[in-house]
Amino acid sequence: MPICKLPPHLVNQIAAGEVVERPASVVKELLENSLDAGAGRIRIDVDEGGIRRMRISDDGCGIAAEQLALALDPHATSKIASLSDLEAVATLGFRGEALASIASVARLTLASRTPEAAEGSEVRAENGQLSSRQPRGMPPGTIVDVEDLFFNTPARRKFVRTERTEFGHIDDLVRRLALARPATAFELVHNGRAVRRLVAATDERSRQRRVGDVCGQAFVDQALYLENRHEGLALEGYIARPSFSRSQADLQFFFVNGRLVRDRLIAHAVRQAYQDVLFHGRHPAFVLHLTIDPARVDVNVHPQKTEVRFRDSRQVHGFLFSTLHRALAETRPTADRSAPAAAPAVSGATFRPAQGGLGLGVAESVARYAGLAGASAHAGTQDPEADTPPLGFAVAQIHGVFVLAENAAGLVIVDMHAAHERIVYERLKQSWSEQRVKAQHLLVPERVMVSEREALALEKRVGELNRLGFELELAGPDSVTIRAVPALLAGSDCIQLVRDVLADLVEMGRSERVAELIDDLLSTMACHGSVRANRRLNPDEMNALLRDMERTERSDQCNHGRPTWVQLDMKSLDQLFLRGQ
């Protein structure tokens, strides 16, 4: 066939294949335009899961009448004008292909009015044909009406799922954007019935309510609020306690400058922060917002803009990991979870529970707790309102497995082995850290083949690897000689260990492989070294265990992610026995 230029309408339909996958894709593009226009209120009307109709109304800045037709041209945008703008994109949309692509596969009506205009205007588009501009009475803002999606591309329409499925995708999208922009009110209507009404959230309490509306109140009840700033990076949001882990990654929302992203580097940092507090096969839940200079992140790496690339990925990874790791270290029984507790390891960081209840900071000193531990094992002799520790005082031991204690709130049940396992594990980690990593030289040096990128990573990070206990030398452009490995891992497969570490350095700019393996070994040692089930403890030993839990980081869960203690308050106990009913 001879070379020929494709007609504009066909070009737009091809482009629509990247932008418009299903009705939710259309809603996403239009909602992002509304948010970029500064909308304070957005209404989404959907009929038949969006297949028949989608109508987005906002109160944003609007489009001038003389520019309505231009807005439907491909790659026409008010959001970037030069390459420098593209390198520092601060808006959700910016390429200008969405409206033209949508108009090529649906019947579209675009109506808008700027605040200074006396009336609005509208244009219609169908099969690449644009109607003349008409006046329209409407308040300031923009209305985009999309009907009969894929009416002219039946092959694409065959891939559209059921009404329920397609609306589910739209609802998920609205939930995500509602978390991204809490100051904007959203209303979602399906087949004439209001499904979601989310009022604008302008203060911390209402923002927390927005998180509860989207993620469920159970998430908020079990969430820690965190806030940290460091070297131009700011992280704010909620992470669920490990005990609120999920069977799937369905409550994970991470926003970069207000844009929801799915990023391997971010996922890796979060997974590492939770690695020794989460039950095997479970997933953490979180709603986190990262703010960064737009020039330091590339958002133009995916057609649907769901992936990003950080200019300094290593710094971002370290910032995320250290902030989350420190916040999770404070998951321990304390007197007042409503009070913020600063974390000395992270400059300027604030961590606190999302709501009141048991808390993060132990006010009493170790010496004072030691005195309390020597008191009578039965807390009934104590004034419950005066100087009662967070976990109270031991009253009994059940079958050599559980410790029962009375605190100011009611009854505490402690899994004796799980709690002691965490205490021993944290002590082992601290001891290991203070003694630094010792190297173990191999009797016979090993040689391993590597890629050019891995060899370059080794050259750049050889000092770092030495501090981890490795002694590695480049033996050529594609091979490395292993002379020493960390002493604690001397019995492992050293060749595979070095391969994994170098692969991490290439992929992430850093490797936690050694730390993870050492933590696994220390966890095993802690499990075998902790108090076993069926061992009888006297009252002083039980109280000493409770006091250790209050001082130990991450003691809300054992090394395997299981909870170490539960609280039954007086209201819960009354309900068990139908008291007051």
For the chain, give every domain's residue range: 8-198, 204-353, 394-581
Domain 8-198, second-level architecture: 2-Layer Sandwich (3.30)
User: Would you state the pLDDT for residue 463?
Assistant: 80
DSSP letter for each residue of 196-262: EEE----SHHHHHHHHHHHH-HHHHHTEEEEEEEETTEEEEEEEE-GGG-BSSS-SEEEEETTEE--
Extended strands (E) in 300-392: 309-310, 341-342, 350-353
Query: pLDDT band for position 508 (50/70/90)?
Result: low
Does residue 156 or residue 41 have the better pLDDT? Answer: 41
State the average pLDDT over residues 476-490: 84
List pLDDT tens digits, range 89-109: 888 877 778 898 899 999 999
Parallel, antiparallel or unpaired: strands 393-398 and 350-353? unpaired
Residue 389 has pLDDT above 80, yes or no: yes
Q: What is the mean pLDDT of residues 574-580?
A: 88
* pLDDT exceeds 50 at position 213: yes
Which pLDDT value is given to residue 154?
Answer: 85
Lowest-confidence pick of 46-55, 67-76, 286-295, 402-411? 67-76
Report how far apart, in Å, the C-alpha atoms of 346 and of each of 231, 293, 351 are: 12, 20, 10
**Predicted confidence (pLDDT) per residue in 464-476, tens digit:** 778 777 899 998 8
pLDDT in tens, 539-567: 999 999 999 999 999 999 888 888 899 99
Residue 516 in this model has a pLDDT that exceeds 80:
no
CB-based contact 513:500 (threshold 8 Å): yes
Question: In the prediction, which pLDDT does 304 show?
Answer: 61
CATH fold, domain 394-581, is: Ribosomal Protein S8; Chain: A, domain 1 (3.30.1370)
State the pLDDT confidence band at 162, using cuts at 50, 70 and 90: very high
Pairing mode of beta strands 107-113, 297-298: unpaired
For residue 247, give the amino acid letter.
S
Select the CATH number that applies to the domain covering 204-353 from these four: 3.20.20.70, 3.90.850.10, 3.30.230.10, 3.40.50.1370.
Answer: 3.30.230.10
Considering only residues 263 and 40, tell me which one the structure prediction assigns the higher pLDDT: 40
